[in-house]
Structure 1
């Protein structure tokens, strides 16, 4: 297919047949594990987008029963690829754990591709998400101020009436996103707690309250010591450098993974938000400016600077351990 470009349009053009997106240009990394039903819903969206290059990564099961489930899900995903597509897989025999598996899978992806889209098995994208990422991956490919394109905006409606289709903040969010090799090269899973600056003044560029900064430092230190995660480290390297993430005007990702490896939540402000569509082509901001409203919204929902977490930070235990202590079950 020959794609024509108009002088006023930056990025790829798309063809829709009866509302169905036909072929996304950017490669997609799909990270799967042991949740068949959520995997099906994300895969359905990927099938509509028809990426030309699809990377599939899967951690190994932790026991014989889970290994069988993991194998079944791998076979299901491969069997559902019915469009013209180059597929590469990274299927582990052993269980590496969330932090090491996901971060290594992303590194594998960016060793193969200069830029691309990352979706885990519980982040269901709208069709517009792929178009949004495609266009902005090209637009900001060489702008080192931008580290990531977020798909999730937590249903923030305050700037729906904005004339621009996206804004910027200091919070790279991991629920459906896109980035570049040039940004990921600075990532390290192993963040030494001793190297994390404790001086509040080191974070003035973020424009956060001191209490928020202290809690985020606490999260980074936990990740460096014992927490089996990868995204705190990604936030750390970008926030300490003052890098920016693109945030869509409308929410483009629905996270349906509120029952997952690390947590269970019924917070409707965060999970199961509607994945919306956007009009294309995008209306780009005239300037790259930080939107403090988005930053406050993200902090409220993800950093969760609550009284409980302040106590958690003080006594130095995880939320789960704190809950047990509070209930007298520790």
Structure 2
């Protein structure tokens, strides 16, 4: 059995983008994620880094221990490198720390959480897209997930751009990640700036409320901060027209996940054209559909206003 290594230093370089998996206290979800990932072409040629967060409470220790026992039994990847935190970082700090750590020795990464199922083409798509668009200053993120929008079935290209980001199976590059600021003080400019809020909300009117909740300490999200960094740099996310990732954490078991049926997708038999396109622009019709899918109801906006003074 391949013996996982404990992460101390990162000196080796690999041609394929390494995979980073963040795990916590969901042993069954973690197992499904790893088993699905192993079915992807290129899995056995890929290096897998696993970051395991420590339990926040004594009640979570048993589940965390189960996850840690399981990840030390994984084999089938080129190399498996594990880092177990001795203190609870929380998801946001874990992702920021882990991705930054791996960028000490790699130029691009593929980032996963413990509640995802993949198409067999996922790793091929991610690696080829990361190679193709590495020098494109307008693309900060490659997403394996795609939104369930009807009009994409008639879209002629295999990929599209959006000002919306996604954290469900994604990739980025060292130079783009290096432009990020994580301290909340960087984002405070949005609090009383309606013009900036409206610009950020091009991807859905849930964006500004989420960032303001981040600033108020209501949520702790790396993803909404990363989305804002993209917006500030006039950058976009590249998506496949058919999703290569399904989130199984929409059952309400995740740290920040509630049951959200509107994001559920089926993994279809999809062979994306890995030659990709050199001329990509935002399709405003697609963007309108994405904005509508991700916008808050009047009821949710009213609740935000009553609870947090956000509308």
1:206 Cα shift? 6.5
Aligned ranges 1:167-206 → 2 under 5 Å: 167-192=160-185, 193-196=187-190, 198-202=192-196
Equivalent residue for 2:101?
108
Structure 1 residue runs of 4+, over 6 Å off?
A: 203-207
Equivalent residue for 1:121?
114
Instruction: Determine whether 1:274 maps to 2:243.
Output: no
Cα distance in 1 for partners of 2:95, 2:198 equals 30
Q: Secondary structure at the match of 2:238?
A: strand
Aligned ranges 1:82-93 → 2 under 5 Å: 82-83=76-77, 85-93=78-86
CA distance change for structure 1 residues 161 and 106 in 2, over 3 Å: closer, same or farther? same
Equivalent residue for 2:227?
235
Equivalent residue for 2:276?
284
Tell me the alpha carbon deviations over residues 19-56 of structure 1, each in whole angstroms, 9 at most, x when there is no partner.
Answer: xxxxx932100111111111111101222222431110
Larger Rg: 1
Match for residue 224 of structure 1 among 215, 231, 235: 215
1:152 Cα shift? 1.4
Cα distance in 1 for partners of 2:102, 2:75 equals 19
Equivalent residue for 1:76?
70
Contact 1:100 1:189 in 2 (8 A): no
Aligned ranges 1:1-330 → 2 under 5 Å: 25-48=16-39, 49-83=43-77, 85-192=78-185, 193-196=187-190, 198-202=192-196, 208=202, 215-226=206-217, 227-258=219-250, 259=252, 260-265=254-259, 267-271=260-264, 273-282=265-274, 284-302=276-294, 304-317=295-308
Contact 2:162 2:282 in 1 (8 A): yes
CA distance change for structure 1 residues 197 and 228 in 2, over 3 Å: closer, same or farther? closer
Q: Secondary structure at the match of 1:160?
A: helix
Contact 1:26 1:51 in 2 (8 A): no
Contact 1:54 1:86 in 2 (8 A): yes
Cα distance in 1 for partners of 2:72, 2:175 equals 30
Unaligned runs of 5+ in 2: 1-14
Q: Secondary structure at the match of 2:262?
A: coil
Tell me the alpha carbon deviations over residues 157-200 of structure 1, each in whole angstroms, 9 at most, x when there is no partner.
Answer: 31223221101111111111111111111223322253337444
Q: Secondary structure at the match of 2:112?
A: strand
Cα distance in 2 for partners of 1:204, 1:310 equals 15
1:144 Cα shift? 1.6
Q: Secondary structure at the match of 1:189?
A: coil
1:248 Cα shift? 0.6
Cα distance in 1 for partners of 2:261, 2:23 equals 24
**How many residues get paired?**
289
Cα distance in 2 for partners of 1:179, 1:119 equals 12
TM-score (structure 1 length as normaliser):
0.79
Unaligned runs of 5+ in 1: 1-23, 320-330
Cα distance in 2 for partners of 1:45, 1:216 equals 31
Q: Is 160-169 or 188-197 further displaced after alignment?
A: 188-197
Q: Secondary structure at the match of 1:118?
A: strand
CA distance change for structure 1 residues 216 and 269 in 2, over 3 Å: closer, same or farther? closer
